[in-house]
Chain A
Amino acid sequence: MEKEESSKIIRLAHGAGGVLQEELIKFITKDITLKNVNNGIGVEELDDGATIPLKDYDKEIVITADGHTVFPLFFPGGDLGKLSVCGTVNDILMMGAKPLALTSIIIIEEGFNFDTLQKIVHSLNSTATEACVAIIAGDTKVMPRGTLNEIIIATTGIGIKDKKIKIVDNGLKPGDNIIITGSIGDHGTALMANREGLNISTDLESDVSILIEIFNAIKKEIDENLIHAMKDPTRGGMAGALNDWASKSNVSIVIDEEKIPIKKQVSAICDMLGLDSFNIACEGRALMAVDSNQSEIILQKIKKTKLGRDAMIIGEVQKDNPGRVLLKTIVGGTRFIDMPLGEPIPRIC
């Protein structure tokens, strides 16, 4: 960053999945010496996870790590326990790997209550069981009151995949179709609507869920490398994920606004708060870039799953304007979709 003051202090926006977060991650990773194992995907690729190719075998291990905090701890549609499994397991799935196990570190603030902890652990366990993922190791720490807000869970996910499956952020090819597996922005919007001081009554629920059913439905296409990229649009939302792809793959992505599935309440709340629904986090959706000849078949398979009912083909990959994401708006105009900057903050009305 050019401006000195801003580079000295870490701000909230540095954790919000936008350009600032990218800067923070680069700041940390530049000082790491050994960045990959056996030339697998390492920390520098900033992909959903890393791979450790196993010498003499045609398999590789996939590792992802994620720290989770959420306020409030229990929100419509989920809680911290569920969230901390979904986030990590989905990252493994998004690399085309079968999730095997999790480790979990729980850091708790002094004074936290056992009942609440139990609810979170139960939820963590039932979510992991649903995906047949074992929790094989862990650690706990208790921190003095005030040094941390309630509880943080950090999970590491371990999965396995064939070496020949290549689902990576730089895998998009001109002509590919873009699929989203369900409505965008539910998680972030549901949370915001429920935060203190924002008295919006809504039945909107977070979409937090494990994407395993969708993954299994399209396993054949994954094995045949017909899916060129997959990503769960968490922090930074759809706009963040698409921009990431466009710049890493050096292509443009043209999205048709009319096709984007979005719930009425999500648009309404975002409009009201002056937020861009494209930037709002999902926790149970996947974006895919798929071979255009197979996109209809893949879409139909996804639509048959419970989570993927509302899946849509929302756009395509093109050659012009490399690195940019364009939107054909609902009234027919064209504009850019930019990389979100960070912390979405409501605008004056």
Chain B
Amino acid sequence: MDVPGIDILRRKDFTEKIINSINRLAKEINRPLKFMHVCGTHEHTISKFGLRTLLPKKIEILSGPGCPVCICPAADIDKAIEIGKRDNTILTTFGDMIRVPATNISLAELKAKGADVRIVYGPNDAIKIAKENPDKEVIFFAIGFETTAPLIGYEIQSNPPSNFSVICAHKLIPAALELLMSQSLLNIDGFISPGHVSVIIGLKPYEIFSQGYRIPNVIAGFEPNDVLLSILMLLKQVRDKRFDTLNEYSRVVKPEGNLMAQKIIADVFESVSSPWRGIGRVSEGGLAIKEKYQDFDADEKFNITIEKSQDIPPGCSCHLVMVGKLYPYECSLFRKKCTPLNPIGPCMVSMEGTCSIYYKYHKEEG
């Protein structure tokens, strides 16, 4: 928040300079360009500051699968609901998880029916609740990417109370991106990569895109001028026919990432093939708790299996929205049957979901 010099990243005169350069380069390149970001927070910045209305028409910014709440499979939520129904149980999770529709009901509906479902700011709050309620089982429903995994890993390492356990629904970003690229029908001209995930993993995991798939990549921060700068850096690469992974967010992201956090992840979790809502099974796409910590693995503790679940309800196009194949307003249910009050698909719920962001900030036609 109080990073020195952060003001300039929201200053209009600086924005105007960047936009001028973007306009000049776009003219030089003179063809339509598609850039994709893969982060709900980026979409939030882009929409909240109306950045698309500042860009030349030729540049399209697509929204990829970057909302951790949206890509959490319905089966995992169903599992959390089954566990939350038990007596003497407190289910805790992050705020926007509780309204996501699963196969039958959402966690919010479970809560309204009387189950003890609590919103927490992080796993440490859940631990606190576990200590205050030693006679109850306290479960933390852990979702998110590489960003949140170390926090949970750290708590698991630090000898939590025995009535605490974790439903581990963590996902790994690079694996999913690679899957998207390998199926590539998207014709992406460049990636805007998520700053906070990169803080943890560093630059290396992205090199496969720039080198292997020959797609320019820029790791970007979350202020409006961060995002615009990263677009400018992509344009330069396109013009110069370069395919590098560059770091716009160097004030925070180190090339090697956060080694300590990487160590925690490696100690507590193992990467496994994992389903992504709307995308399907991604090899190496998720994390599971290692056997040595299985006492804190809710899967082991409660042994609940979900037989049948439904990720994408009939009529919903979240699976297309999540990979940038469709804009929310191109879905026939958008703003009609599907609204944030009555969300049909997961993308309409989370504050990082593309449909809900479009609902909040965009005109009907986009």
Contact = CB atoms under 8 A, between A and B. Distances in A.
Interface string B1-31: 1100000001110011000000000000000
B341 A341 contact: yes
B12 A9 contact: no
Interface in A307-349: 321, 327, 329-336, 338, 341, 345-349
B279 to A, nearest CB: 19
Contacts of A321: 363
Contacts, number: 102
A258 B148 CA distance: 33
A274 B143 CA distance: 17
Contacts of B143: 348
Contacts of B125: 197
Size bracket of the A interface? 20 to 34
Interface string A181-223: 0000000000000000110000000000000000000000000
A5 B342 CA distance: 11
Interface string B334-366: 000100111000000011100000011111000
B112 A345 contact: no
A332 B16 contact: yes
Contact of A331 (B51, B121, B362): B51
Interface stretch (B93-101, B209-217, B303-311): B93-101
A338 B360 contact: yes
Nearest to A336: B361
Interface string A1-37: 1110110010100000001100000000000000000
Contacts of A349: 147
Chain A CB count within 10 A is highest, among B2, B50, B125, for: B50
B225 A331 contact: yes
A331 B15 contact: yes
A6 to B, nearest CB: 7
B246 to A, nearest CB: 22
Given A345-B95, A347-B95, A336 B362 contact: yes
Nearest to B109: A5
B272 to A, nearest CB: 22
Interface in B32-72: 47-54, 68-69
Contacts of A271: 1
A137 interface: no
A73 interface: no
B108 interface: yes
Size bracket of the B interface? 35 or more
Nearest to A257: B49
Contacts of B148: 348
B208 interface: no
Contacts of B188: none
Chain A CB count within 10 A is highest, among B95, B119, B147, B359, for: B95
Contacts of B341: 1, 6, 19-20, 341
Chain B CB count within 10 A is highest, among A272, A336, A348, A349, for: A348
Contacts of A333: 49-54, 224
Nearest to A272: B1
A132 interface: no
Nearest to B54: A333
A54 interface: no
28 contacts: A2-B342, A6-B341, A6-B342, A9-B113, A197-B128, A268-B1, A274-B95, A329-B50, A331-B10, A331-B15, A331-B54, A331-B224, A332-B16, A333-B224, A335-B362, A336-B362, A338-B360, A341-B341, A345-B98, A346-B121, A347-B96, A347-B352, A348-B68, A348-B94, A348-B95, A348-B143, A348-B148, A349-B147
Interface of A: 1-3, 5-6, 9, 11, 19-20, 197-198, 258, 268, 271-272, 274, 321, 327, 329-336, 338, 341, 345-349
